[in-house]
Amino acid sequence: MSKKRLGLRQIKLLFVKLVLSLFLLSIAWVLLYRWVAPPATLHMIKRRAEAGAADKTNPEIDYRFVKLEEMSDQLPLAVVASEDQLFLQHNGFDVEAIMDAFKRNQKGGNIRGGSTISQQVAKNVFLWHGRSYLRKGVEAYFTLLIEMLWGKQRIMEVYLNIAEMGDGVFGVEAASQKYFKKPAKEVGRQQAALLAAVLPNPIKFSAKNPSGYTLRRRTKIARAMGRLGGTTYIKSILPPEDEK
Protein backbone atom coordinates (compact mmCIF):
# COMPACT_ATOMS: atom_id res chain seq x y z
CA MET A 1 0.00 0.00 0.00
CA SER A 2 1.41 3.39 -0.99
CA LYS A 3 2.12 6.07 1.59
CA LYS A 4 -0.55 8.26 -0.01
CA ARG A 5 -3.26 5.61 0.38
CA LEU A 6 -2.10 4.85 3.90
CA GLY A 7 -2.34 8.52 4.77
CA LEU A 8 -5.87 8.80 3.37
CA ARG A 9 -6.92 5.69 5.27
CA GLN A 10 -5.58 7.13 8.51
CA ILE A 11 -7.41 10.41 7.91
CA LYS A 12 -10.67 8.55 7.26
CA LEU A 13 -10.16 6.48 10.40
CA LEU A 14 -9.52 9.60 12.49
CA PHE A 15 -12.62 11.22 11.03
CA VAL A 16 -14.78 8.21 11.90
CA LYS A 17 -13.37 8.17 15.42
CA LEU A 18 -14.06 11.89 15.79
CA VAL A 19 -17.66 11.54 14.60
CA LEU A 20 -18.23 8.54 16.87
CA SER A 21 -16.74 10.38 19.84
CA LEU A 22 -18.94 13.42 19.25
CA PHE A 23 -21.98 11.18 18.91
CA LEU A 24 -21.28 9.36 22.19
CA LEU A 25 -20.51 12.66 23.93
CA SER A 26 -23.80 14.16 22.79
CA ILE A 27 -25.71 11.11 24.05
CA ALA A 28 -23.97 11.34 27.43
CA TRP A 29 -24.65 15.10 27.64
CA VAL A 30 -28.36 14.69 26.90
CA LEU A 31 -28.69 11.78 29.35
CA LEU A 32 -26.97 13.80 32.07
CA TYR A 33 -29.48 16.63 31.72
CA ARG A 34 -32.33 14.16 31.88
CA TRP A 35 -31.71 14.02 35.64
CA VAL A 36 -29.44 17.00 36.38
CA ALA A 37 -30.51 20.62 36.07
CA PRO A 38 -28.42 22.53 33.50
CA PRO A 39 -26.15 24.84 35.54
CA ALA A 40 -26.47 27.51 32.84
CA THR A 41 -26.98 27.88 29.10
CA LEU A 42 -24.90 29.64 26.48
CA HIS A 43 -27.72 32.16 26.12
CA MET A 44 -27.58 32.99 29.84
CA ILE A 45 -23.83 33.49 29.62
CA LYS A 46 -24.23 35.67 26.55
CA ARG A 47 -26.93 37.81 28.19
CA ARG A 48 -24.76 38.31 31.26
CA ALA A 49 -21.81 39.36 29.09
CA GLU A 50 -23.99 41.78 27.09
CA ALA A 51 -25.37 43.37 30.26
CA GLY A 52 -21.88 43.72 31.72
CA ALA A 53 -20.56 45.37 28.57
CA ALA A 54 -23.48 47.78 28.51
CA ASP A 55 -23.32 49.21 32.04
CA LYS A 56 -19.85 48.20 33.29
CA THR A 57 -21.31 46.38 36.29
CA ASN A 58 -21.24 42.74 37.30
CA PRO A 59 -24.82 41.71 36.48
CA GLU A 60 -26.24 38.49 37.81
CA ILE A 61 -28.56 36.10 36.00
CA ASP A 62 -31.67 35.19 38.00
CA TYR A 63 -32.09 31.46 37.36
CA ARG A 64 -33.76 29.06 39.81
CA PHE A 65 -34.44 25.53 38.61
CA VAL A 66 -37.53 23.88 40.12
CA LYS A 67 -39.25 20.58 39.41
CA LEU A 68 -42.47 20.44 37.41
CA GLU A 69 -44.39 19.44 40.55
CA GLU A 70 -43.21 22.70 42.13
CA MET A 71 -45.00 24.72 39.44
CA SER A 72 -48.62 25.60 38.93
CA ASP A 73 -50.26 23.40 36.28
CA GLN A 74 -51.31 26.65 34.59
CA LEU A 75 -47.73 27.35 33.55
CA PRO A 76 -47.16 24.41 31.17
CA LEU A 77 -50.68 24.91 29.86
CA ALA A 78 -49.96 28.58 29.14
CA VAL A 79 -46.81 27.94 27.10
CA VAL A 80 -48.47 25.12 25.18
CA ALA A 81 -51.39 27.42 24.35
CA SER A 82 -49.03 30.22 23.39
CA GLU A 83 -46.01 28.56 21.82
CA ASP A 84 -46.83 25.04 20.64
CA GLN A 85 -50.38 23.69 20.78
CA LEU A 86 -49.30 20.44 19.12
CA PHE A 87 -46.57 19.81 21.68
CA LEU A 88 -48.15 16.60 22.93
CA GLN A 89 -48.72 15.22 19.43
CA HIS A 90 -45.57 15.95 17.41
CA ASN A 91 -42.21 14.19 17.56
CA GLY A 92 -40.28 17.43 18.03
CA PHE A 93 -41.18 19.20 14.78
CA ASP A 94 -44.32 20.92 13.53
CA VAL A 95 -43.77 20.58 9.79
CA GLU A 96 -46.78 22.71 8.86
CA ALA A 97 -45.64 25.58 11.11
CA ILE A 98 -42.09 25.36 9.76
CA MET A 99 -43.29 25.53 6.15
CA ASP A 100 -45.64 28.42 6.96
CA ALA A 101 -42.79 30.35 8.61
CA PHE A 102 -40.55 29.64 5.61
CA LYS A 103 -43.14 30.99 3.17
CA ARG A 104 -43.71 34.12 5.26
CA ASN A 105 -39.97 34.78 5.58
CA GLN A 106 -39.51 34.41 1.81
CA LYS A 107 -41.83 37.38 1.38
CA GLY A 108 -39.55 39.55 3.51
CA GLY A 109 -40.34 41.63 6.57
CA ASN A 110 -39.94 40.40 10.13
CA ILE A 111 -38.35 36.97 10.40
CA ARG A 112 -40.72 34.47 11.96
CA GLY A 113 -39.82 31.08 13.35
CA GLY A 114 -41.72 27.82 13.37
CA SER A 115 -39.86 26.26 16.25
CA THR A 116 -41.59 23.91 18.65
CA ILE A 117 -40.97 23.89 22.39
CA SER A 118 -38.70 20.88 21.86
CA GLN A 119 -36.62 22.76 19.28
CA GLN A 120 -36.36 25.78 21.57
CA VAL A 121 -35.08 23.58 24.40
CA ALA A 122 -32.53 21.91 22.11
CA LYS A 123 -31.30 25.31 20.92
CA ASN A 124 -31.20 27.04 24.31
CA VAL A 125 -29.71 24.19 26.35
CA PHE A 126 -27.15 22.70 23.97
CA LEU A 127 -26.40 25.28 21.29
CA TRP A 128 -25.65 28.86 20.40
CA HIS A 129 -28.17 31.28 18.88
CA GLY A 130 -27.88 31.91 15.18
CA ARG A 131 -29.54 31.34 11.82
CA SER A 132 -26.99 29.23 9.95
CA TYR A 133 -27.98 25.96 8.30
CA LEU A 134 -25.29 24.20 10.34
CA ARG A 135 -26.84 25.32 13.63
CA LYS A 136 -30.34 24.38 12.47
CA GLY A 137 -29.08 20.95 11.49
CA VAL A 138 -27.45 20.37 14.87
CA GLU A 139 -30.60 21.73 16.53
CA ALA A 140 -32.68 19.12 14.71
CA TYR A 141 -30.29 16.39 15.90
CA PHE A 142 -30.55 17.46 19.56
CA THR A 143 -34.31 17.84 19.20
CA LEU A 144 -34.58 14.18 18.18
CA LEU A 145 -32.31 13.17 21.05
CA ILE A 146 -34.31 14.90 23.77
CA GLU A 147 -37.58 13.61 22.33
CA MET A 148 -36.22 10.05 22.52
CA LEU A 149 -34.18 10.25 25.74
CA TRP A 150 -36.13 12.78 27.84
CA GLY A 151 -39.78 12.60 26.89
CA LYS A 152 -42.36 15.38 26.93
CA GLN A 153 -42.50 15.87 30.69
CA ARG A 154 -38.77 16.55 31.06
CA ILE A 155 -38.71 18.74 27.94
CA MET A 156 -41.48 20.88 29.39
CA GLU A 157 -39.80 21.02 32.81
CA VAL A 158 -36.51 22.22 31.33
CA TYR A 159 -38.24 24.69 29.01
CA LEU A 160 -40.11 26.36 31.86
CA ASN A 161 -36.85 26.72 33.74
CA ILE A 162 -34.54 28.07 31.04
CA ALA A 163 -36.90 30.31 29.03
CA GLU A 164 -36.03 34.00 29.42
CA MET A 165 -39.00 35.88 30.87
CA GLY A 166 -37.44 39.27 31.45
CA ASP A 167 -34.09 41.01 31.24
CA GLY A 168 -31.78 38.39 32.77
CA VAL A 169 -34.71 36.57 34.39
CA PHE A 170 -34.79 32.89 33.45
CA GLY A 171 -37.50 30.40 34.30
CA VAL A 172 -40.90 30.53 35.92
CA GLU A 173 -39.67 30.46 39.53
CA ALA A 174 -37.42 33.50 39.12
CA ALA A 175 -40.13 35.31 37.12
CA SER A 176 -42.91 34.49 39.59
CA GLN A 177 -40.85 35.67 42.55
CA LYS A 178 -39.77 38.86 40.76
CA TYR A 179 -43.09 39.91 39.23
CA PHE A 180 -45.75 38.39 41.48
CA LYS A 181 -43.89 37.98 44.80
CA LYS A 182 -44.95 34.35 45.02
CA PRO A 183 -43.53 30.92 44.08
CA ALA A 184 -44.32 29.38 40.71
CA LYS A 185 -46.55 26.85 42.49
CA GLU A 186 -49.08 29.60 43.34
CA VAL A 187 -49.34 31.24 39.90
CA GLY A 188 -52.87 31.48 38.51
CA ARG A 189 -54.16 31.35 34.94
CA GLN A 190 -53.91 35.07 34.17
CA GLN A 191 -50.41 35.33 35.60
CA ALA A 192 -49.27 32.23 33.71
CA ALA A 193 -50.72 33.69 30.52
CA LEU A 194 -48.86 36.96 31.17
CA LEU A 195 -45.52 35.17 31.51
CA ALA A 196 -46.22 33.28 28.29
CA ALA A 197 -47.14 36.56 26.59
CA VAL A 198 -43.63 37.99 26.96
CA LEU A 199 -41.81 34.90 25.62
CA PRO A 200 -41.48 36.05 21.99
CA ASN A 201 -39.33 38.99 23.14
CA PRO A 202 -38.74 39.21 26.91
CA ILE A 203 -36.58 42.31 26.50
CA LYS A 204 -39.21 44.26 24.58
CA PHE A 205 -42.28 42.94 26.45
CA SER A 206 -42.56 43.19 30.22
CA ALA A 207 -44.55 41.17 32.74
CA LYS A 208 -43.82 43.79 35.40
CA ASN A 209 -45.12 46.75 33.41
CA PRO A 210 -47.13 45.15 30.59
CA SER A 211 -48.09 47.27 27.62
CA GLY A 212 -51.54 47.24 26.08
CA TYR A 213 -50.27 44.81 23.45
CA THR A 214 -48.89 42.45 26.10
CA LEU A 215 -52.16 42.55 28.03
CA ARG A 216 -54.15 41.79 24.89
CA ARG A 217 -51.82 38.92 24.16
CA ARG A 218 -52.30 37.66 27.73
CA THR A 219 -56.06 37.67 27.24
CA LYS A 220 -55.72 35.79 23.96
CA ILE A 221 -53.51 33.14 25.57
CA ALA A 222 -55.84 32.74 28.57
CA ARG A 223 -58.74 32.13 26.19
CA ALA A 224 -56.69 29.58 24.25
CA MET A 225 -55.94 27.80 27.53
CA GLY A 226 -59.67 27.47 28.10
CA ARG A 227 -60.39 26.31 24.56
CA LEU A 228 -57.81 23.54 24.92
CA GLY A 229 -59.77 22.22 27.88
CA GLY A 230 -57.72 23.63 30.75
CA THR A 231 -55.09 21.59 32.56
CA THR A 232 -56.85 18.37 31.54
CA TYR A 233 -55.32 18.90 28.09
CA ILE A 234 -51.79 18.49 29.46
CA LYS A 235 -52.62 15.80 32.03
CA SER A 236 -50.26 13.31 30.37
CA ILE A 237 -47.18 15.42 31.23
CA LEU A 238 -48.23 16.50 34.71
CA PRO A 239 -46.65 14.72 37.69
CA PRO A 240 -48.92 12.28 39.54
CA GLU A 241 -50.93 13.87 42.33
CA ASP A 242 -48.98 12.03 45.02
CA GLU A 243 -45.74 13.65 43.82
CA LYS A 244 -47.05 17.22 44.15
* Higher per-residue pLDDT: 232 or 14: 232
The CA-atom distances, in angstroms, between 57 and each of 49, 131, 202 are: 10, 30, 21
Residues 211 and 9: their CA atoms lie apart, in Å, by 63
DSSP string, 11-50: HHHHHHHHHHHHHHHHHHHHHHHHHS--S--HHHHHHHHH
Mean pLDDT of 161-179: 95
Q: Is the pLDDT of residue 17 over 70?
A: yes
Cα 207 versus chain centre, distance:
18
Domain of residue 15, residue span = 1-36
pTM to 2 decimal places: 0.88
Model pLDDT for residues 97-148, shown as the tens digit of each residue: 777 766 666 665 554 557 899 999 999 999 877 777 888 899 999 999 999 9
The Cα–Cα gap between 36 and 104 comes to 38
Q: Does residue 243 lie within any of the structural domains?
A: no
Q: In 3-state terms, what secondary structure has residue 52?
A: helix
The average pLDDT across 170-194 equals 97
- pLDDT tens-digit map of 232-241: 999 999 988 7
Do residue 104 and residue 30 come from a single domain?
A: no
Q: Residue 161: give its domain's CATH number.
A: 1.10.3810.10
Task: Give pLDDT, residue 102.
Answer: 63
207 with 194: CB under 8 angstroms? yes
